[in-house]
Structure 1
Amino acid sequence: MQHLKEPITKDKKGKVSIGKAFKTIIWPRRNLVFVGLILIVIRSLAGLILPWQSKVLLDEVVPNNNFDQLKILIIVVLCAILVQAVTSFLLTRILSVQAQYLISELRAQVQKKVLSLPISFFDNTKSGALVSRIMSDVEGVRNLIGTGLVQLVGGTITAIVSLVILINLNPWMTLFVFLPISIFGFVALKAFKFIRPIFRTRGKINAEVKGRLTETLAGVRVIKAFNAEEQENIVFEKGVDKLYQNVKKSLTATALMTSSSTFLIGVATTGIMGIGGYYMMQGEMTTGEFLFFTLILGFMIAPIVQMSNIGSQLTEALAGLDRTEELMNKAAEEDNEERNIELRNVKGEINFTDVSFSYEEGKEVLHDINFKVPAGSVTALVGSSGSGKSTIAGLSATFLNPKSGLITIDDQDMSKVKLASYRKNLGVVLQDEFLFEGTIKENILFPRPNASEEELQNAVKAAYVNEFTDRFDKGLDTLIGERGVKLSGGQRQRLAIARAILANPRILILDEATSSLDTESEALIQKSLSELIKDRTTIVIAHRLSTIKKADQILVIESGKIAERGTHEELIQAQGRYFDLYTYQSKI
């Protein structure tokens, strides 16, 4: 798609350039826009027939009692009305539909861009805010390619043609009208400059309010459990009031334009009545000419008044483009030119050399981490909460990048490896595993939608998912609700493990994979995990130390450093931190 492939140029204030917006959005659709302009010109010319024929009616047909000419006049006017109706339908059908298609294209492109951004971006951005930016910010763009822009250009053409006719009819009356209209144009331009930043801010406020609302709905059980409904109501009310204050500002500016146009046009109309009345009494203007002048004046003024409304729409569209471009200009994970190594035949040996990491400048979470995970082996990470275990797992999954040091996969620098070639060999089972709304079957098939029925059933049996789905009326076709709310914690975890088994990865990261399971379920899962990790490079984060006795190596992480390392037996004999943790858990 051409329109947003290249970043849209911005001016010094960070606004999208209208010239670049024209080049990237409108110009690729110039044929449709040109057709729209032709249709609107035809519609406008057809609209001039009625006032022209009204003059003929009063000055020629009625005074001469010419019934034959009256019939012709009526037929001409009816044909003009038919042309107006047909061109209006075609304008909507061609341009409005194309505008909606553009919106759908833009939404798809923005969503694609968002998914390409690094995990750190999502850690700092509310999902609800992103939904707003993907769905709402692009909507105003319909006015760039839809009837809005065409009406603006077509209205300008109509106003110019009408002005020429008016000057030919009576230049002095035209000059009198032109003065208040010029004042209105000046006021409108000033108002548009004031409105654009308001629309831009409105997009941000909208995103914040929707983001909070999404969180509220997702966490409704927590809210009710802590009787915090009133607290959430107050937060939301503050957000919508902030939005209201923003809308009030833009409405004030719009009202100023509307009222000024009403007043100035009223002044012009009153003046025309006086001047026109004088000319008719002097015999210098016929009644038909006066009516013709008045109607044509309406054709000149109407587009100008309409431009204030269309101008607001175009201003809103450009403000939405400003915010959309903020996303489109962000660097994607794969945009790094140094990532040019394509992994093939992955064995799965991971090596950390002097790796340090910090989420915030000057606050290191990991300090000079060194360890090796041989291909096909199991490495367990244990330690107290906040020690850095999940950060190591995130670095191993390429969700994070080290601030210093080197991580390699099969002796290849991970920072230079194409992410897709690594992640297709990666499987992850998280502590709070995410499930999509849909059926159990759809969630298991998520990593490999085209897997065979036999592969699906093998994964189901290996993770003991059938142990509970056999009790459901619809089995694997049972709907699980949003985030799997209709399943227990243990059932969700087994479903996630089945998904990982089906993915058949070379490298596996298990983050508290058995934390949500009861004793019976854990025993079942331990069997399935034994099958899952066989011949795979596995990194396990575990609080239940009984689950990692058979790990090839155990790393005890404390305060971002490796405090101890060894097998279960070696660490027990050392009677250090691991010994303390293990004996403490054994007593519970």
Structure 2
Amino acid sequence: MAKAPKQEYKSPHLQRFKYTQDQAIEKQFNWKQMGRMLQYVKPYSKRLLPAAIIAMLVSTIVRLIVPVLIGKVAIDLAIKGEDPNLLIQLVVGISILYVLSFVGNTLRIRWVNILGQNVIYDLRKHLFSHVQRLSHKFFDNRSAGSILVRIMNDINSLQELFTNGIINLLMDVVTLIGIIVILLVLSPKLALAIMIILPIMFFISTKLRRNIRRSWQDVRIQQSRLNSHLNESIQGIRITQSFSQENENTEYFDGVNSDNFESWRNATKKSAMFRPFVEMSNAVGTVILISYGAFLIINGQITVGTFVTFSTFLGMFWEPISRLGQMYNQLLMAMAASERIFEFLDEEPNVEERKDAIELKDMKGHIDFDHVRFSYDEDRVALHDISLEIKQGQTVALVGHTGSGKSTIANLISRFYDPTNGSVKIDGHDLRDVKLNSVRQQISVVLQDTFIFSGTIMENIRFGRPDATDEEVIESAKVVGADDFIQRLANGYETEVEERGNILSAGERQLLSFARALLADPKILILDEATSSIDTETEVKIQEALNRLLKGRTAIIIAHRLSTIRDSDNIIVLEHGRILEQGNHSELMELKGEYFDLVKTQFQMLDAM
């Protein structure tokens, strides 16, 4: 196989693809972790697993009995004693045993595949459900591609282990033990002579374990990086093409692809050492059998039938050992994958729900920030000692330069993060004392970067409230002015929007997100730069709809377009995580401070256009 050329990362700006969170996990190989994986087999241990084991035992016992019958009965008794009737009976008996073995193997393969697919289904479902419950901080530090690799590729790596590996392991162990017992019974001297190679084989194989395991871990890491780059490249293809960066992107992909190729080549090269080593051991065992076995026959210590039985079992003896070597490689791959899976499963949400958390029913929407300090990490303080009150039904606008802390305040209200110090309260309840779902089900958020799911227009709007009727969905769309463009689509509300709503304009996607949020009938509505993708004419329509909609609801509006927040009850001006000014539009304009400067600058920019 030709070696792929090694590519270097020549472009400095492409270093952004080097993910630091997806590193090798250095843990000792232990059976405790294997036991943890096998917990997913437990639900099927009463029916499928015992049935598969019984079927395996039937076929294995037949394999062990037949060589003994051929050597000790066919050769030593029937042929040597010239007894054709015994030979005929033996042929019929062996035929029946092989039919029994065929049935056992068929059932074993069927049942273990059903068992394995169920285990993989449960594990993937568990991992996906767990990842969905993790806090925003978890996703801040990881690319979508690396998460995708763990849910798909790493779990797929366990498929062979659960569908065939476990039962095959048991079958090979039973076969090996059975052969050893039979050989020791037939001739202890010859059996011990053949098995003298086993300690040497065990010693050398243990030396290879750490290197093989680490190399398969590296394969997983390189696959994760490759998937991360692919995910980002495909999503950013329009930007890549607009800047004519296809060649640089391809050059970087060659480098990542080459690393992936090298990791696989290295892992398979080390794993491939097992098979030749077993073959060499088999050759040594054959030499011992022929030389020492012939000596024992000449001296009358064993019969020809015993020698033939030994010869048959010798091939069978090294076969399970060889498969156990391959199984060990498979186990190492599965262990490397499971470590990465359990790393995610062991991840605890940063925003935890207390066991005694209360249900916040019938939220009023009164919000208090009490000396709140928040930092995303030790070196990045986003909010400094923020204290503010947002009364029920008020519309409050947050303004300020990028990085001033506006979105952080919105995230704390939805409890996507917990404050580092101080407390955030709704209706007098500290959010840390309230059940998460009871808070978030009564808050709707519309983001600047709206996300539209694959499916129909109707399904996307209904995402805000799955039990809503078609009439309620349509009414929500009418309120925000989305009904007009929806009706112009070929299939109206049943139009498929494709991945990320590609058939819709940015403004249309934003209108859908408005309808989705409003359908949820929230007590608190957060608009985070929600009108940035909408043209001025559409913005006027939305503003009229919002004026009707926001009555009786608490609203937090984050906007750079200051024209959209003039009618807000309170405008809070933020700078570097601190409150500089607050008041309504008229009060802040009279103050002639930071807000006055922002408004003046924005109008000057509009006049210059």
TM-score under structure 2 length normalisation: 0.89
For residue 154 of structure 2, what is the aligned residue in structure 1? 137
> Are residues 16 and 418 of structure 1, via their aligned partners in 2, closer, same or farther at CA, if it must alter by over 3 Å?
farther
The alignment yields a C-alpha RMSD, in angstroms, of 2.4
Contact 1:11 1:17 in 2 (8 A): no
For 1:431 and 1:532, locate their aligned partners in 2 and report how far apart those are by CA, in whole Å.
20
Contact 2:366 2:554 in 1 (8 A): yes
For residue 490 of structure 1, what is the aligned residue in structure 2? 507
Quote the offset at 1:329 in angstroms. Answer: 1.6
For residue 43 of structure 1, what is the aligned residue in structure 2? 59
SS of residue matched to 1:298: helix
Q: Deviations over 1:548-581 (max 9, x none)?
A: 1111011111222222211111122222222222
Mapping for residues 80-479 of structure 1, pairs under 5 Å = 80-142=97-159, 145-280=162-297, 285-332=302-349, 335-337=352-354, 340-479=357-496
SS of residue matched to 1:450: coil
> Are residues 19 and 327 of structure 1, via their aligned partners in 2, closer, same or farther at CA, if it must alter by over 3 Å?
closer
Amino acid at match of 1:50: V
> Are residues 18 and 383 of structure 1, via their aligned partners in 2, closer, same or farther at CA, if it must alter by over 3 Å?
closer
Amino acid at match of 1:154: M
The partner residue of 1:52 within 68, 75, 99 is: 68
Do residues 17 (structure 1) and 32 (structure 2) align?
yes
Quote the offset at 1:18 in angstroms. Answer: 4.6
For 1:235 and 1:412, locate their aligned partners in 2 and report how far apart those are by CA, in whole Å.
51
Q: Which structure 1 residue ranges, 5 or more long, are not aligned?
A: 1-9
For 2:242 and 2:86, locate their aligned partners in 1 and report how far apart those are by CA, in whole Å.
82
Amino acid at match of 1:360: D
For 1:11 and 1:87, locate their aligned partners in 2 and report how far apart those are by CA, in whole Å.
41
For residue 3 of structure 2, what is the aligned residue in structure 1? none
Q: Deviations over 1:48-99 (max 9, x none)?
A: 3432343344444455665444432332222222222211121122122111
For 2:474 and 2:41, locate their aligned partners in 1 and report how far apart those are by CA, in whole Å.
52
Quote the offset at 1:334 in angstroms. Answer: 5.9
For 2:210 and 2:252, locate their aligned partners in 1 and report how far apart those are by CA, in whole Å.
32
For 1:546 and 1:526, locate their aligned partners in 2 and report how far apart those are by CA, in whole Å.
10
Quote the offset at 1:135 in angstroms. Answer: 1.9
For 1:22 and 1:580, locate their aligned partners in 2 and report how far apart those are by CA, in whole Å.
61
User: When the two structures are aligned, how many residues end up with a matched partner?
Assistant: 579
For residue 7 of structure 1, what is the aligned residue in structure 2? none
Q: Deviations over 1:252-296 (max 9, x none)?
A: 332222111111111111221233344445665544332222112
For 1:338 and 1:28, locate their aligned partners in 2 and report how far apart those are by CA, in whole Å.
27
For 2:557 and 2:246, locate their aligned partners in 1 and report how far apart those are by CA, in whole Å.
39
Quote the offset at 1:121 in angstroms. Answer: 0.8
Query: Mean Cα displacement is larger for which, 213-222 or 12-21?
Result: 12-21
For 1:476 and 1:290, locate their aligned partners in 2 and report how far apart those are by CA, in whole Å.
80
Amino acid at match of 1:24: Q
TM-score under structure 1 length normalisation: 0.92
Query: Mean Cα displacement is larger for which, 231-240 or 373-382?
Result: 231-240
For 1:559 and 1:168, locate their aligned partners in 2 and report how far apart those are by CA, in whole Å.
83
For 2:452 and 2:545, locate their aligned partners in 1 and report how far apart those are by CA, in whole Å.
20
Quote the offset at 1:105 in angstroms. Answer: 0.5
For residue 521 of structure 2, what is the aligned residue in structure 1? 504
Quote the offset at 1:205 in angstroms. Answer: 2.9
Q: Deviations over 1:373-419 (max 9, x none)?
A: 11111001112222221112112221122222221101111222221
For 2:383 and 2:236, locate their aligned partners in 1 and report how far apart those are by CA, in whole Å.
31
Q: Deviations over 1:189-217 (max 9, x none)?
A: 33233322333343333222212211111
Q: Which structure 2 residue ranges, 5 or more long, are not aligned?
A: 1-24
Identity within the alignment, %: 34
Quote the offset at 1:536 in angstroms. Answer: 0.7
For residue 550 of structure 2, what is the aligned residue in structure 1? 533
Contact 1:166 1:174 in 2 (8 A): yes
